[in-house]
Each structure stands twice: as C-alpha cells, then as structure tokens.
Amino acid sequence: MDTLHPLAIHMPLALIFLWPLVDGLGLKLDSPHLKRLGLAMLGGAALFALFATVTGQAAFDEAVRQGVDPKLLRTHTENADLMPWVLLAVLAARAWLPRKLSHRGHALALLLGLLVWPLALGVGKSGGALVYEHGVGVWKTAIDGGGAKR
C-alpha cells in the first residue's frame, strides 16, 4: 500500500487547484454544467485525499521501519492528515451555502476553496522535500545496492 502513495497524491492536489476555477467559471457564466462539474471535482478531491491519507500512513509506517526519524515525517503527515477533513468541510459548505445564500453562498464556498490552496501547497512542498532532499521512499540504484528502498 505504501508504494501507491506517490501515485495517490497527485489527483487530489490537481483537483484542489482546478475545482474552484471550473466552479467559479460556472458561477460567472451561470452554467449549471460547469457548476456541477466543479462540485464533482471537489467531491473527487475529498475522496482522493482520503485515499492519499491511507496510503500515506502506510508510507509513513514503511519509512519508520526503514529507519527514517518520525520527527522528519511529522510536519508533512500532520498537515496531510488535515486535508481530507478540510476538503469535506469545504464540500459541505459548497453543497449547502448556494442553497441558502444563492450566488453569494456559492462565491463564499469558492473563497473557502481558495483558502485550501496554501495548505495544499505546504503539504506538496513538505512531501517533495521528504523525497528530493531526504530520499524518503526513493529506490536505491544498482550502484548503491539496488532494488531496496532507503
């Protein structure tokens, strides 16, 4: 399961950044199709974030088994573990606010979605640092032993 984490993380990140743009365009153009697509993208982001969190826990456990200091992983995991819950809260707001406050509620839900961007950027940056700066989860090359993870 830990090997799925690098694959699992990219979909929620892409959807987190794209759904407010699509949904916002739907609001601007008053397009029900784009609004529904944006809402579906947000729902997908929440589901994929849950999957990324599950695979991330497996990757965390594997990294610790291989001797990585859990403190090195902590900032990334703490912020990443928030992501599904934040997205579920934004999804609830996006589903509810437009019904109660019409266009204003829709715009407010979009603003909440944009406020998720810094968290997503931080999670992506810290995950990238674990891989590219510390070599967490990177396969060893044939030169340094081949075939096993560091």
* Alpha-carbon torsion (117, 123, 127, 128), positive or negative: positive
> Does 81 fall in a domain?
yes
> Could you give the CA distance from residue 28 to residue 70 in angstroms, rounded to a whole number?
46
Q: What is the pLDDT of residues 109-134, one digit of tens each?
A: 999 999 999 999 999 999 999 999 98
> Does 128 fall in a domain?
yes
Contact (Cβ atoms closer than 8 angstroms) between residue 103 and residue 30: no
Distances (CA, A) of 38 to 3, 23, 129: 30, 4, 30
For the cut 60, the answer to whether the pLDDT of residue 145 exceeds it is no
Q: What is the pLDDT of residues 29-64, one digit of tens each?
A: 999 999 999 999 999 999 999 999 999 999 999 999
Helix residue spans in 3-69 (DSSP H) = 5-8, 10-29, 32-65
For the cut 80, the answer to whether the pLDDT of residue 67 exceeds it is yes
> Does 31 fall in a domain?
yes
Number of domains comprising the chain: 1
Q: DSSP 3-state helix, strand, coil percentages of the chain (rounded to 5)?
A: 85, 0, 15
> Does 148 fall in a domain?
no
**What is the residue-averaged pLDDT of the chain?**
91
> Does 30 fall in a domain?
yes
Residue that the structure tokens 């743009």 belong to: 21
> Does 27 fall in a domain?
yes
Contact (Cβ atoms closer than 8 angstroms) between residue 90 and residue 42: yes
For the cut 50, the answer to whether the pLDDT of residue 142 exceeds it is no
What mean pLDDT comes out for the span 2-28?
A: 95
For the cut 80, the answer to whether the pLDDT of residue 139 exceeds it is no
> Does 141 fall in a domain?
no
> Does 96 fall in a domain?
yes
Per the structure, the complete domain to which residue 105 belongs is given by 2-132
